[in-house]
Structures are given as structure tokens and as C-alpha cells.
Chains A and B, each alone.
Chain A
Amino acid sequence: MNNSLKSSVPTDREVILGILNNSEDILNKLYKAYYAMVLQFILNNNGNEDDAKDVYQEGIIVLYNKIKEGNFELSSKLKTYIYSVCRRIWLKKLSQNSKKAGNITDYEDVFAVEEDVEHHEEKDAAFVKMQSALDHLGEPCKTIIQDFYIHNLSMQDICEKFGYTNTDNAKTQKYKCLQRLKKIFFQP
């Protein structure tokens, strides 16, 4: 397992180009390449597999967004960058849960990524806000909105999926849902 992961580690350049070109294959390889590293770090620092998954995915998203924003400069190895970001995120989580983070066991070099992580947290706040707004929306509105905006289904598909007699009904329903969602979302 370990070996097969390592053998398919993409080069840093491949990863950046791949992400810029929305390559699923590269994302797949990237994810598998460094997961073990973060898993080891989390497991050995008061975390479990689920924590590792969350932290690692967040770390990948930070990297992904940074590359997408086009201002990613490769000042270190990607591996170090991912490790540093995940480490930072995990340390924050530990201190939030007031778990003891006194003695962190490190496995890789670390370099300063505070800015990136904070930038990510701001974005993540908006994400969480939208997520909770959707959760408050209830069914079937949540699914309709998700299908339309996230999965990019057409009104025709939604109409069939939810059994509306015609697309106008579906549209009306969608706008009703949207109104409610906006109301929740814009609540201070």
C-alpha cells in the first residue's frame, strides 16, 4: 500500500499544472501521495483517522485554492507546504478543543503558513455559513437548491426528479426556496 502510494507521487510541477487544468487524475494522485504523512502526524498527536481526514482535506483545499487563485509560488516542496498547513490546522483544532498540544511530534520540516491558513479560514467561514443556511432550509428545498446550483441540474431534471407537474411549478418552488435561503443567509 505504502509503496504503491509512493511510486505514484506526482512532481510538484505536475500537481500545479494539473490543478490549474482541473485534472482529476492529478488531484487523485496528490491526495494519495501525502495522506499517509498527515495521517501519521495526526495519529501521533492526539488525533484519530477522522481528524486526519478532515485536516488533510482542509489542507488540500488550501493548496487547491491557492493554486487556483494563481498566486502560488513554490518556495518549498509541496510536501512541506501540505505538512505545514495541516500541522497548523491541527494545532488550531487542538487548542480550540483545549486538548493538550504541548508536545507536538513532528515528522517533516515545517514552514510558516499562518497567512494561508487564516485566509482559508475566512473563506471557510462563508462556506460554513452557507452550509448551515442550507441545513436550516429543510427538505425538499435543500435538495432542490443543491441540485440546481451545485450539481447544475436543469429545471427540467428537477421537475422530473421531484414529480412536479410542470417546470413552472418547479421554478416557483425553487424561487420560494431561494428566498428563504437568502433570508437565512443574510441574517446577521
Chain B
Amino acid sequence: MRNDLELDAIIEDYLLGKLNPQETEAFENLRRNDAAVDHKVVSHKFFLESMEVFAAQSRLKEQLNNIHSEIDVENLASTLRPHPSKVVQLWRKHKSAIAVAASFLVLSLVSVYSIQHNTKQEERYSQMRSELSRVRNSTKDLIRTINSNTTADATTKNIKPGNYGGTGFAVSTNGYILTNLHVINGADSLYVQNNKGESYKVKAIYSDPQNDIAILKISDKNFNNLSSIPYTIKKSTSSIGETVYTLGYPKDDAVLGEGYVSSKNGFIGDTTQYQVSIPVNPGNSGGPLLDNNGNLVGIISGKPDQTEGAAFAIKSKYILEAMRAIPQDSLGSNRISSSKKSVLSGLKRTKQIEKLQDYVFMIKVYN
């Protein structure tokens, strides 16, 4: 036992190079002659190497533990722990993906927006009232009042009344006439003129700013009741391609415009209107839009200012709505209906116009 321990000590010293040259030589001799000793040397060498690796690793671990103790794990863990809220968790997980998606979205939105901006014609809605100069006037007025302090002359000039005109059509035989609200807006006095050139004074009795509809009532003693209304109101919506026509007063005589329904929606997708392909001019506003069978499809109300040949017409169901809004007995029994068959049905266009023109009026606006 004692010898074994001594041998171990010598082997270790030998391996660590602590022996002096003579001892080393003596030991190497012993090693050569005794296989058992040699074996011990080899195994001890392996053991020492293992021990060295172990020692290095242990020291490193100790070092890491020391560093670890400097870190405030509690605090850090509480911020990084899976958050109870799903949203926060989702955000943390997919932070980068969300960022990429968001920036992509922004980019595509920007590019779509810019493309649209470049290609889109700046369309505006111009209402077909024959004297749009009021707008021009008013802007001029503004400029004038800003530019000059000698307002006296200018203001007297501005008082000069402007005449506007539009179209309207009878919705009952006792003198109720329907037109666009924008035709009569701001009017001091209103007159309607029939195709024979007779003028009657009218009063506005109902207006629907949302649908741009106004109902006027002839309040003139000279007015004789009309014979029964030839056209009827169409309840269903019209299909694209349906032939339609309108009669209006863009000038002093009635003008026929014919075309077709070109879109089921109006200005920028306005669902209360159709788009129709009829050339219209200022003064057509408020005119009736009829189909071949003499059904009232809508009211001409305006056109896009950059698309040629297109016009917008308020859908007929809003006429019904407007008519429901006024006292029913005042309309009389002979009013426009949606149930009867139109007497215009089956007639030639010329005959239809002949019958129709007595019921379409020019609206004259004074202010």
C-alpha cells in the first residue's frame, strides 16, 4: 500500500515534470522494464488530462456563475415572461413580421394612392342649373370686396338679380311640380313656364336637401288643372342599357335628350343616383327621365364636369319618398302613380313627347 502511494507520487511528479534528470532516467528505466508501471503511467496521464479539462470547465462555470449573480434575473424575467395578454404575446412573437407587413402596407397604400392620383381625372359634380354664373359672381364679389374699399358702387351692382332656370315636371294635376332643390335654392321668387309660354307663380312647399329634391306648388289663380298625368313612377331600379330620355329646358324651348342608363350608381358610387348617357346642359336639372314605356326612372340632376355625355339622375324611388312627405289630400286624386300603366306606353317617341310636353315646365328663378 505504502509502495503504491509512493509510486503514484513519483508518476505524478514524472508527468508534471517535477523530477530531476537522474530520477527521470531511473523512472523511465523502471517503466520500460515493468509493464504494470507503464500502464499506471498511461492511465494516470489520461486521468490528469481529464482532470485538467474538468478543472478548466469548473473554473469557467464558476466564473459564469459569478457573472450570473450580477444580473437582476427577477426583473429581467418579469419583463420577458410570456405576457398574460394574447395581444402582447402576439406582438412579441411576430414583432418583425408585423413591422415588415406594416411597412409593406404603407408602401403599397402610398403607391396605390399616388397612382390613383396621377390617373384619376379630378371629377367634380356640376349641377345643371342654367346660370352657374352665380358661383362666378360670388367669387368675383369676394375679390372685389377685398380689392377695393370703394364698395358703394360695387355693392349696388351686385344687387342686380340673376336669373336661373331649370326644369320641373308635374306630379299631380292640381299643380304640384317636382324639380331639383339646387335649381330653386336661394330663390326670392319662383315661376314656372309651360310649353305655350304661360308663366305661373309657384311656391316651394317641400325640399329634401339629402336627395336634392324640391316640390313646388303653382299658386296662380289663372292656373287650370292639368289633365291626368301620362307617366307613372317606376318602382324597380332600371338595368344598365335601358333606353331613357328626358325633356328639359336648357334654352327657352323644350329639348329632348335620349340615351341609356350607363351605370347603376352615380357620382363616385352614389347609390341614390343612376349615371345615364344623355347629353345634358345647364337647364336640364330637374327634368324627368323616362323609359320607353313612359315610366319615370329618375330626375336629371347633374353631370360630371370632365366626362362628356354623361349625366346623373336621382332614382325614382326618392320621388316617391318625397311625395309621401307632403300631405296626401293636398296632392289631389289625380297624382302621379306607381301602380297604373303609363298611357305613354306603346306610343312612338314623337307622340310621347307631344303628350309629355304639357307636363314639363321651365323653372324660372329670381333673386
Contact = CB atoms under 8 A, between A and B. Distances in A.
Interface string A99-131: 000000101000000000000000100110011
B152 interface: no
B135 interface: no
A101 B229 CA distance: 82
B5 interface: yes
B60 interface: yes
Interface stretch (B67-75, B236-244, B269-277, B279-287): B67-75
A57 B72 contact: no
A39 B76 contact: yes
Interface in A117-147: 123, 126-127, 130-131, 146
A127 B71 CA distance: 26
B58 A150 contact: yes
Interface in A20-75: 24, 27-28, 31-32, 35-36, 39-40, 43-44, 49, 52-53, 57, 60-61, 64
Contact of B60 (A35, A36, A39, A64): A64
Nearest to B80: A40
A2 interface: yes
B4 interface: yes
A179 B70 CA distance: 39
Interface residues of B, number: 37
Q: Is the interface of B mostly helix, strand, loop or mixed?
A: helix
Contact of B5 (A28, A61, A179, A182): A179
Nearest to B51: A149
A149 B58 CA distance: 11
Contacts of A28: 67, 70
Contact of A186 (B43, B71, B75): B43
A172 B67 CA distance: 37
B12 to A, nearest CB: 8
A27 B76 CA distance: 20
B61 A1 contact: no
Interface string B43-78: 110010011111101111101110110111101110
Nearest to A150: B55
Contacts, number: 91
A116 B77 CA distance: 28
Given A32-B71, A182-B47, A130 B76 contact: no
Contacts of B52: 149
B9 A175 contact: yes
B81 interface: yes
A176 interface: yes
A28 B67 CA distance: 6
Contact of A35 (B4, B57, B71): B71
A36 B76 contact: yes
B364 to A, nearest CB: 77
B217 to A, nearest CB: 75
A182 B44 contact: yes
A185 B50 contact: yes
B8 interface: yes
Contacts of A64: 60
Given A2-B79, A127-B54, A61 B60 contact: yes
11 contacts: A27-B64, A28-B70, A49-B73, A52-B77, A61-B64, A126-B50, A150-B55, A171-B9, A175-B5, A178-B8, A182-B43
Interface of B: 4-5, 8-9, 12, 43-44, 47, 50-55, 57-61, 63-65, 67-68, 70-73, 75-77, 79-82, 92-93
Interface of A: 1-2, 24, 27-28, 31-32, 35-36, 39-40, 43-44, 49, 52-53, 57, 60-61, 64, 105, 107, 123, 126-127, 130-131, 146, 149-150, 171-172, 175-176, 178-179, 182, 185-186
Given A1-B76, A126-B54, A150-B55, 16 more contacts: A27-B67, A31-B64, A39-B77, A44-B82, A57-B65, A57-B68, A61-B57, A127-B54, A130-B50, A150-B54, A150-B59, A172-B5, A175-B8, A176-B5, A178-B8, A178-B12
Counting from the closest, the 4 A-B pairs by CB-CB distance are A40-B80, A130-B54, A150-B55, A175-B5
